[in-house]
Structure 1
Amino acid sequence: MMPTFREIEDADVPAVIVLWHESGVARPWNDPATDIAFARRGPHGTVLVAEIDGRVVASAMAGEDGHRGWLYYVAVAPDQQGTGLGRRMVAAAEAWLAARGVWKVQLLVRRENAAVLGFYDHLGYRDTNSVCLQKVIAKA
């Protein structure tokens, strides 16, 4: 069965949160419901899902900051991994960004998730040799 790629709907939120936990992209310090709501609050971000037979099987959060596009929460249901769905999910997110005039896409990979680096390398993503710094300025 071929997946359908589309923007998230309110009814999808619980399934996407389960997907993020099952696929290992959720972290205890990030509330998935808050992150989804934040991405959907305006025209600069979204969460895309892939659906097969009414079941959400993949996601990608995409956003742009006026200079670059970013991908987050690229997730594929464990029983769908290795089928090419991840590649297609990334392509859908890249297309969403390209439709908004974004020509450069970046993403972050946690050091402990080194196994996924080969996946992104195969898709043409390269290490920027940059250091990502962070400061929490307000509690969401």
Structure 2
Amino acid sequence: MITSPKPVIDTFTEGDRHRVVTLWGECGLTRAWNDPDKDIDRKVADSPWGFLVLRLGNAIIGSAMFGYDGHRGSVNYLSVHPAHRGKGYARLLMEHGEALLLARGCPKINLLVRTGNEQVIGLYGQLGYVPDEVVELGKRLIKDD
């Protein structure tokens, strides 16, 4: 009997860069105004412990960036390759990231989901996330063009 490899959560390494950027594109996470390589550089410089990849054999099929500023935790770039969705891999990444944040004393995690992404909003709802009574505001300090 041949068994399939099990996914493994690992910390991002520089050798993962191209595969992670490709994954983000395949998942529809990249935007013209965000350079994914610069986002990776910023994350690695700030808190590499929170940059997770989900490996399946030699492939990277998922990723997430977790951070903690001493007040709130955050998650960005949560992704699972479309061919591997519905298998609990997003839940696996979130549970691992939440454990990392909890170990650092993080009392709460906030996350952003683009308006209209009902499937992802539903996923987070299943994981216990609820809308907060807040208004999200943003201001671009560095243009990535």
For the aligned pair, the TM-score class normalised by the smaller chain equals: over 0.9
Determine which structure has greater relative contact order: mean sequence separation of CA pairs < 8 Å that are 6+ residues apart, divided by chain length: 2
In 2: Cα distance, 1:42 partner to 1:136 partner: 18
Match of 1:80 in 2: 84
| TM-score normalised by structure 2 residue count | 0.90
* CA RMSD of superposed structures (Å): 1.4
Larger Rg computed on CA atoms: 2
In 1: Cα distance, 2:26 partner to 2:54 partner: 15
Q: How much does 1:136 deviate? A: 1.9
Residue aligned with 2:137, SS: coil
List gaps (5 residues or longer) in structure 2.
Answer: none
Alignment equivalent of 1:109, drawn from 106, 113, 126: 113
List gaps (5 residues or longer) in structure 1.
Answer: none
Alignment equivalent of 2:98, drawn from 90, 94, 97: 94
Alignment equivalent of 2:14, drawn from 10, 14, 18: 10
CA contact 2:50–2:97 (8 Å) conserved in 1: no
- State the identity %: 38
Kindly report which structure 2 residues correspond to 1:129-140, keeping only aligned pairs within 5 A, or say none. Answer: 129-139=133-143
In 2: Cα distance, 1:61 partner to 1:43 partner: 9
Match of 2:26 in 1: 22
| TM-score normalised by structure 1 residue count | 0.93
2:74 is equivalent to residue 70 of structure 1: yes
Q: How much does 1:115 deviate? A: 2.0
Q: How much does 1:44 deviate? A: 7.4
CA contact 2:64–2:93 (8 Å) conserved in 1: yes
